[in-house]
Amino acid sequence: MKFRFTFLLLSLSLTVFSQTLTQSQQVSQILQDRGEVVLKFNVNSKTQINEDLTNIISIDNVKELANGQGYEVIAYANAQEYQAFLSRSIPYEIIQKSAPKALTMATTVAEMASWDRYPIYSVYEQMMVNFANTYPAICDIDTILSSTPSGNYRILVAKISDNVHTAENEPQFLYSSSMHGDETTGYYLMLRLINYLLSNYGSVTQVTNLVNNAEIWICPLANPEGTYYGSSPVGSTVAYSVRNNLAGVDLNRNYPDPRAGQHPDGELWQAETQAFMTFADNHHFNMSANFHGGAEVTNYPWDTWTTSGNPNADVAWWERVCANYVATARVVSPTYMTDTYSSGVTEGGDWYVIAGGRQDYMNYFKQCRELTIELDGVKTTETQNLNGMWNTNYQALLNYIQESLYGIRGVITDSCSGQPIRAKVFANSYDQTNDSSHVYSALPVGNYHKYVNTGIYSLTFSAPGYVSKTISGISVTNGTATYQNVTLTPLAPSADFSADVTSTCSGIVQFSNDGIYQTGSTFLWNFGDGNISTQENPTHTYLTNGNYTVKLKITSCAGTDSITKVSYIAVNMPLAPTTEGDSICGDGSVSLTASGSGTINWYDALSGGTLVGTGSPWNTPFLSTTTTYYAGSDITTVGAAQHVGMTDNSGGGQYFTTTTGYRYMIFDVSQDIRLESVKVYVNSAGSRTIYLQNNAGLTLDSAVVTVPTGQNPYLVTLNFDIAPGTGYRLGVKTGSTNNLYIASGPSYPYSIPGVISITGNNQNQSWYYFFFDWIVKTQSQCNSPRVATIAKVTPLPTATFNYNIVGADVDFTNTGASGASYHWDFGDGNTSTLENPSNNYGATGSYDVTLVVTNSSGCIDSTTQTIVINNAPSADFSANTACLGASTLFTDNSGTAVGTITGWDWNFGDGAGVSSSENPSYVYGDTGVYNVTLIVESSIGLFDTTTVPVYVSTRPLAGFSYVAGFVGNATTVNDMSQSFMLPLTSWNWTFGDGNSSVQQNTFNVYNTPGLFTITLIVANTCGLDTATQQVNIVTTGLIEYDRQPVLYPNPASGSDITIEFVAENEEIYVLNVFGADGRLVYSENDACETGNNKKQINIANFAKGSYWVELRTSNNMFRLQFVK
């Protein structure tokens, strides 16, 4: 079932508020509902807009009024910006959101097929997934931000290229839309453009050319928090979209600015901003555009400067490219992009100046030619007009991408190694040093793309470690690419280095390579202590005191250079501690001790490694194997007090009474410090908790401070020890009892060079929060050489035993691991040190028997079992193995702790034989195994039963196999005799030719042909048996005829094999089959005819394996082998 949701489209219009609310109250209500308000007002001059108002409020549109009456301005403001605007005393009107149109949302991917609506967020994500799944060879979906601050959305980007997973010599092009959440036209267009490129690849020539020759990245939605603001369920409509992000920050004022600095809006970089900056860092975009709404115009750099303030080196190129975009769109809609400028083109600052825009960030800091395109005078294009917007813009969008293929382009490589390099490309007499108009080649390909108009150009190519090269006379024609590959010659390396310290009490030195060398150079450091490194900037730990000479050698394909600094590093570490290891028996913790100066620290490595413990004695973690730890004496030296931060509150401000949120100062630390104290100003007494957190918000330390009144400023002692790091937070969770002073007009950063820098706060950079006159002290760490200390873990012996009770006699057997010594306590006062002792108990009862085992390391294990000696007898007997017909003799071994054995009841297990004798004998009628049962009775009338198997054997059954040889060769014989429960004791062979043997398996060599009788006599303790067989010995052995016998199939796969052979005469033949072990498995005698003969042998019952077939006639013998 499909659902269609229709929402009210909120567009900009003027609405008159109820006369019962003041204008300020109306704004407060709007801010409470939406977090931002839209204002319209008039000013007299652009100067007022560009130099004042743009710094306090988000200007959205500026239009010149007729007859020189000034300018009409539309602007957005959050609560803070609105208060700043009020201070200018400018009359204004409120532009209220109203809903004259219907807005249709697609709730399934299928509903987007007609492209006449916006998708709900889940449909948008599914469409992006479908693009990659449907076109995996040319499309991949990447994530710019994995989770927006609400956790409800992601910022996604599609990458489209013919080799989508391979870096190529292609421009990287980026389209991005809707960083202002309520400007949604570009969101729709970019989603549709992705679909158009993918579905028309291979069929539309221009699309195929673009995908084959450019790396195209498209981010349809850069501010999903704003676009889907206020929707319920989450992501279900764009009807309530807002300009800013969830925190109320205008993302297009939040970027570093080439004129106004890192935080021109006074806000921290938002999660969306940081994600896009990281995304830009990880790629090398050459050309891009971002899309907005509320006007129709192409807006090229700069936004932060007017043309007169800083002319753009690329202004002519921008004017041409923008004019082409407008002209292409006007082919479809002739009046398009005329609402702001008749040409549809402007330099951004000439329209109105802003700071912190992404367009300027990309152009100035990333050398990417980015354009701002305002698509529609309506912020959120009505759904019935979406197809019209596509028809108007899509060809212009394609043509703008195509511009990225033109200009001057090529690959820059190292003339020595041929490897690509990152180099600067500067157009002489064209580029300007003040506007970052040069470009760079990009790794891993080394390709560059310099966009210029028709003309003749001179380019200079330069890179650190290389000889710069200038190439003149490069001719360019609009709409074409001029290729200019460049090789740069590397400079011979020049070696130099420095160290963070040259005198150290820790032994740890960070070396910096200050040489001049090109990419791909190799390095060889010799630290003077026998250690080397091939890292570019190594950190080395010296383990002993002394003065060390350090050498660095740099090698490249352009040459080699080295530098040696004699006695450069002086190491003066504290004396190493003296240590004492320990051992334990079995798993557990070992106590290690050390003595020395300073703090004893324990590490898991001789150098580097991890700090695992402090102090002496120190108990190791739970160990199961012997482990070595390393103890060092570490001494901390605290430096003199230094002051940083605002000194006091004399510059003005206010007491902070907000009861929600968490306010903190942000600072970076360059070396170990102790933050000893800060000063605060309060206007009410109470306890405050000051938190020190890392950049992830994890609390590292805290202090609860009770601040009295009447002591302003109040010195708060903290003594927070802080390691080097960035983004530390020092703050107070707000509440009704906060009332700490915040100062206005700070000048960030506040720094002690090389020590600490207070960079701002988490809320508003126009304020300085709570903590004045920070007192910090540097801390230097001196570390002695480390001493190895062994925590020995000796495995415990295992104490276990079994026992056997016969009356009052008990035999004990140690069943654990053998130990060096044993101690048995039998529980009756008797003891033993034997491994397997016996004990006779003098009385019935329960006894706790304890075995203590001690191994060679002195480790002990013990176990205790309880045995019971009772009044019942213990039945036991033994019997010999008799031969059939002889008597089996039974011997009673029963015992009793009380009284005597007075009765015996024997059952001999053959169904017939019984006896009541103490030690009977019995003759069994057949061989076998018989379970004999004995029931004994004691003199006090108690019984016990035992059953034991008894064996009756007989003489052996003789048998053997043979493999007949020929005269002068060995005939082998193998014993196949059988003997039940008794071993064979002898073998006597006679071979019929006077020879004999007493071996179990043997051979005989016959010297004459003929038929011989082989006899085997075998014996066991019960008697003898004899077996005989005849063997036919022939004279010539294996005979070769013109036709040898043939055996098939081989290997045998069925139930039969066939042998074909030629006989000289009619006679009797012998056919034998032997297994691989020499045993005869088949034999027959039959008559054969003169000439050809054929014989089948059934092998269905043969096991799988290898067999020999022996064919004998009166004069010949043949052997053939086959496999089943």
Residue 655 is predicted with a pLDDT of 85
CB atoms within 10 A of CB 787: 17
Reported confidence tier of residue 906, pLDDT bands at 50, 70, 90: very high
Per-residue pLDDT, averaged over 920-926, amounts to: 92
pLDDT tens column, 759-768: 999 888 888 9
pLDDT tens column, 140-154: 999 999 999 999 999
Contact yes or no for 511/550 (Cβ under 8 A): yes
Indicate the angle between helix axes 386-403 and 315-330, nearest 10 degrees.
Answer: 140
pLDDT tens column, 638-664: 888 999 999 999 988 888 876 566 789
pLDDT tens column, 807-825: 778 999 999 876 779 999 9
Residue 9 is predicted with a pLDDT of 34
Tell me the backbone φ, ψ of residue 816, rounded to 5 degrees: -90, -175
Q: How far apart are CA 695 and CA 697, in angstroms?
A: 6
How far, rounded to the nearest angstrom, does the alpha carbon of residue 475 sit from its chain's CA centroid? 50
Whether the per-residue pLDDT at 124 is higher than 90: the answer is yes
Residue 202 is predicted with a pLDDT of 96
pLDDT tens column, 249-277: 999 999 999 999 999 998 999 999 999 99
What number of CA atoms fall less than 13 Å from residue 166's CA on the CB side? Answer: 8
Least confident of 747-751, 791-795, 1069-1073: 1069-1073
Per-residue pLDDT, averaged over 789-794, amounts to: 93
Closest residue by Cα to residue 75 from 244, 219, 214: 244
Average pLDDT of every residue of the chain? 90
Per-residue pLDDT, averaged over 231-238, amounts to: 94
pLDDT tens column, 658-691: 656 678 999 999 988 999 999 999 887 778 889 9
Share of the chain above pLDDT 70, in %: 96
**Angle value at C-alpha 595, between 593 and 600, nearest 5 degrees:** 80
Share of the chain above pLDDT 90, in %: 66
User: For the stretch 184-205, what's the b/e string if a residue is b when 16 or more beta carbons lie within 10 angstroms of its beta carbon?
Assistant: bbbbbbbbbbbbbbbeebeeee
Residue 6 is predicted with a pLDDT of 34
Contact yes or no for 1005/972 (Cβ under 8 A): no
Q: How far apart are CA 886 and CA 714, in angstroms?
A: 114
CB atoms within 10 A of CB 754: 9
Distances (CA, A) of 76 to 38, 619, 824, 853: 5, 63, 93, 86
Q: How far apart are CA 488 and CA 123, in angstroms?
A: 50
Residue 100 is predicted with a pLDDT of 36
Q: Is the dihedral of CA 1029, 1034, 1040, 1042 positive or negative?
A: negative
DSSP calls for 599-651: EEEEESSSSSS-EEEESSSEEPPPBSS-EEEEEEEEEEEEEEEEEES---STT
Single pTM value for the model: 0.58
What tokens were used for 1075?
């297994």
Contact yes or no for 714/680 (Cβ under 8 A): yes
Map residue 227 onto helix, strand or coil.
helix
Reported confidence tier of residue 734, pLDDT bands at 50, 70, 90: low
Q: How far apart are CA 229 and CA 242, in angstroms?
A: 6
Per-residue pLDDT, averaged over 451-467, amounts to: 95
Specify which of 308-312, 343-347, 954-958, 1107-1111 reaches the highest per-range mean pLDDT. 343-347
Name every residue whose Cβ is closer than 8 Å to that of residue 578 and which is 6 or more positions away in sequence. 594, 595, 596, 787
Name which residue leads in pLDDT, 1041 or 559.
Answer: 559
Whether the per-residue pLDDT at 102 is higher than 70: the answer is no
Name every residue whose Cβ is closer than 8 Å to that of residue 9 and which is 6 or more positions away in sequence. 99, 100, 101, 102, 103, 239, 380, 382, 383
Note the residue count of the chain: 1124
Name every residue whose Cβ is closer than 8 Å to that of residue 676 and which is 6 or more positions away in sequence. 641, 717, 718, 719, 775, 776, 777
Residue 1119 is predicted with a pLDDT of 77
Specify which of 360-374, 642-656, 1083-1097, 1108-1122 reaches the highest per-range mean pLDDT. 360-374
DSSP secondary-structure letter at 351? H
User: For the stretch 276-296, what's the b/e string if a residue is b when 16 or more beta carbons lie within 10 angstroms of its beta carbon?
Assistant: bbebbeebbbbbbbbbbbbbb
End-to-end CA distance of the chain: 67
pLDDT tens column, 147-197: 999 999 999 999 999 999 999 999 999 999 999 999 999 999 999 999 999
- Contacts of 138-144 with C-beta under 8 Å, sequence gap 24+, read 138/162, 138/164, 138/198, 138/201, 138/211, 139/164, 139/194, 139/198, 140/164, 140/165, 144/219, 144/275, 144/276, 144/279
